[in-house]
Structure 1
């Protein structure tokens, strides 16, 4: 029991430290879309108990090339043949989710979905914006990989720890239904983002997180897991914001993120057990990072932080309610047939 708690405690510290370090570096270097790095760090550290192998690193490099290339190639199609472009994008999202459900790397699937939606949506408005998004995704992913390797070196997994179990492979029929459901969760937000990509980029990231979570959430627990985690993420972002205002400094940004990461990580790894799933706590942490990061950027740009947060939180809840409705409708259709 003591060994298990030691292992879980080390994993919690790894997630919190890596996320905090990614957040501080992203904002310290003023990277484009700075929340991308810490969000990918959360996914990477929470789902991998070992550092990436050389083969996995090469796979990620290929995914970066494939994602940026396919996203940019969709831009002319979306501009001149919008309906065909949207249908092809939806098909590619479906295939990416299905790849993850059929035994593929879930991180690769998540990055493919994020890249396809964010890059192609940005490119329909301005090619320069698409190039900025490409740079943000590549730099954010590379930063997350480097930080992950560093924290694994500083806080290695004990030799006594059990190897991480491979994710179960869904039967093909079920994987098709779940992947289609996840793609339908993302698509309306993607269409909305095409009207104003610069403003709706955080909403795309939220929808990608919801699509990923919908693959492991049942319709029965959808309201609790999806809506509850979104509301909790908003509350954590508000608490973080007012805590940060006490002393505005990059080091305090790092330390507060470390503290919040530890608090959520204890729930994520069930050191402090709750009735909520790990996916609930993971989505709460991701939601907090996206909302907080955008509020910090609004503050730097001189915008009204509180009204922008209220609008963004309203959109997050609307997207989450739609995701819950999609899960309920699919569940009703499956029972009827």
Structure 2
């Protein structure tokens, strides 16, 4: 997982991909949730998802421009269906990619159709790179012969799945609406909200603060530590090696090699948050922007989105709501 993520990060920035953090984020999801390379069937399904996502995202752009309310409601419905698919036993990677593609493409297209085309290219290239690096990583670091395939996702009961999917869609919606005002600045917020929406499907109200807010803060601390470590020697090789080291440190806890009281979702979200924040800071530095001010604003927005996600968990997991679900 660490080697594949580091390789994706280095290649993305070396090739100057449009949104370079997409590939390493998808690589984290692929490698952390799969202990075997994607099968031909899974690869074909992901290819189909790419076509559906890009096509539907582009088709939503005229609707959002001319019939905004209907477009927003339709996007909300599609987000609900994407999360519901994953919760009812569908492939969580497919669900995550659908949510990311729908929100990012439609948000970019409302400001500039060419921007949506750029996001389409970034998503396709990022996913393709993540899949190729995933296959290479599994080839370099083969699983032991006794390793079993990851168990299939357990389907959540239908009534509970509807509530959780609605909650996850509501977590993503505000960040998507904010991004439509300025897609170039707020695209990282969409990626963070997608990660939170995915995480909210397994988190509970009791552990919301520790799971969601804690992982966001820890991801920010990791990004700060990574940034100052990278300043010791600014080159692509050190970028790769530091990412490899940080991936190993987080990976030990993600896979339970070093026992902690935090769930794997906490460490996964921390790593994703670090990659998004760090990648944007590197891009800000290249563009000549004030990196520290931009980082402070971005981490503030991340925390705001996270607090909102916690609020959704608290509202939907109230005793009254829980009793209604059990009834």
| 1:97 is aligned to 2:91 | no
Q: Does 2:251 match 1:291? A: no
Aligned residue runs from structure 1 range 289-328, under 5 A: 289-328=275-314
Alignment of 1:102-117 (within 5 A): 102-117=88-103
CA drift at 1:156: 1.3
**How far apart in 2 are the matches of 1:75 and 1:310?**
31
Q: Distance in 2 between matches of 1:49 and 1:222?
A: 28
The alpha carbon displacement at 1:117 in A equals 0.1
Q: What TM-score results when the alignment is normalised by the length of structure 2?
A: 0.98
The Cα offsets for residues 88-144 of structure 1, whole Å up to 9 and x where unpaired, read as: 000000000000000110000000000000000000000111011001000000000
Aligned to 2:7: 21
Deviation at 1:85, TM superposition (A): 0.1
Corresponding residue of 1:237: 223
User: In the comparison of the two structures, how many residue pairs are matched?
Assistant: 323
Gaps of 5+ in 2: none
Structure 1 residue runs of 5 or longer lacking an equivalent are 1-14
Distance 1:288 1:225 in 2: 15
Establish whether residue 41 from structure 1 lines up as the match of residue 30 from structure 2: no
Q: In structure 2, what is the equivalent of residue 83 of structure 1?
A: 69
User: For 1:185-225, what per-residue CA distance to the aligned partner results, in whole angstroms no more than 9, with x for missing partners?
Assistant: 00011111111111100000000000000001111101100
1:10 match? none
Matched, 1:270 2:248: no
- Alignment partner of 1:249 is 2:232: no
Match of 1:170 in 2: 156
Aligned-CA RMSD value: 0.7
Instruction: Give the C-alpha shift of residue 335 in structure 1.
Output: 3.4
Q: In structure 1, what is the Cα distance between the partners aligned to 2:323 and 2:138?
A: 48
State whether structure 2 residue 176 is matched by structure 1 residue 190. Answer: yes
Aligned structure 1 segments of 4 or more residues deviating by more than 3 angstroms: none
Q: Deviations over 1:157-197 (max 9, x none)?
A: 11111332112110110000000000000001111111111
Corresponding residue for residue 195 of structure 2: 209
Whether 2:42 is the aligned partner of 1:56: answer yes
Aligned CA distance change for structure 1 residues 224 and 200 (closer, same or farther; 3 Å): same
